[in-house]
Amino acid sequence: MFIEQPPRIYRILFPGAIWRMPSKNKCVYLTFDDGPVPGITPWVLDLLNQYDIKATFFCVGDNVRKHPAIFQLILDQGHRVGNHTFNHIQGIRFRTKNYIDNIKKANGYIHSRLFRPPHGHMRLLQTLLLRKQYKIIMWDVVTRDYSPHMTPNGVFNVVKNYTRNGSIIVFHDSLKAETNMKEALPRSIEWLKREGYEFKLL
């Protein structure tokens, strides 16, 4: 549970970050990290279009630089985008100035006030500085679709077992997650709809 749904003690390490959205209605917030990636992000967009769902894509700046047409497709289809650094780097492994500079570089391509740190790791000072300019979006449910130790059914079960009202759910439109995500995502959407969840944008 510590990974799939971080406990309160972990969440307080990132003051001001958003982990779950307050809502009186039964709803979830579907998000995708690490794209845009050819062949994968367009597949996700087609699936979301089939179900008339809008989502938020936290993009890696260098991927946007390399695949601007796919990034534009995300925007054209009415989805929201967020910053996921330029090189998918972890804040705890970099000096604060270098980390902030990497995020600024990504923002030159992404132009969003939403930010999600790769792997959810940042130093306290980085968090405090970033929240002055960005809305830091974490998650309530991370599917772990990227893990080679997970199966598509395991990913689907994470969604079933941990989703609750207001959950921010993370999938990945990446090569590492492709096999798990492509099977688990449509099953998850079908289950969420059957359970009466509405899909909302951050």
Whether 17 and 127 have beta carbons less than 8 Å apart is answered as yes
Q: What's the predicted TM-score (pTM) here?
A: 0.96
Token pair 């492994």 is at which residue?
A: 93
Whether residue 2 is predicted with pLDDT greater than 80 in this model: the reply is no
How does pLDDT run across 47-73, given as a tens digit for each residue? Answer: 999 999 999 999 999 999 999 999 999
Q: Mean per-residue pLDDT for 105-110?
A: 98
- Show which residues are catalytic: 33, 172
9 — pLDDT class (breaks 50, 70, 90): confident
Distance of CA 33 to the CA centre of its chain: 4
Q: What is the DSSP letter of 113?
A: S
User: Which architecture characterizes domain 8-199 according to CATH?
Assistant: Alpha-Beta Barrel (3.20)
Q: What percent of the chain has pLDDT over 90?
A: 92
Q: What is the pLDDT of residue 1?
A: 52
Q: What is the pLDDT of residue 175?
A: 97
Q: Mean per-residue pLDDT for 86-111?
A: 97
Q: Mean per-residue pLDDT for 117-130?
A: 95
Helices (H), the chain: 8-11, 41-50, 61-66, 68-76, 96-110, 124-130, 152-162, 178-194
How does pLDDT run across 161-202, given as a tens digit for each residue? Answer: 999 999 999 999 999 999 999 999 999 999 999 999 999 999
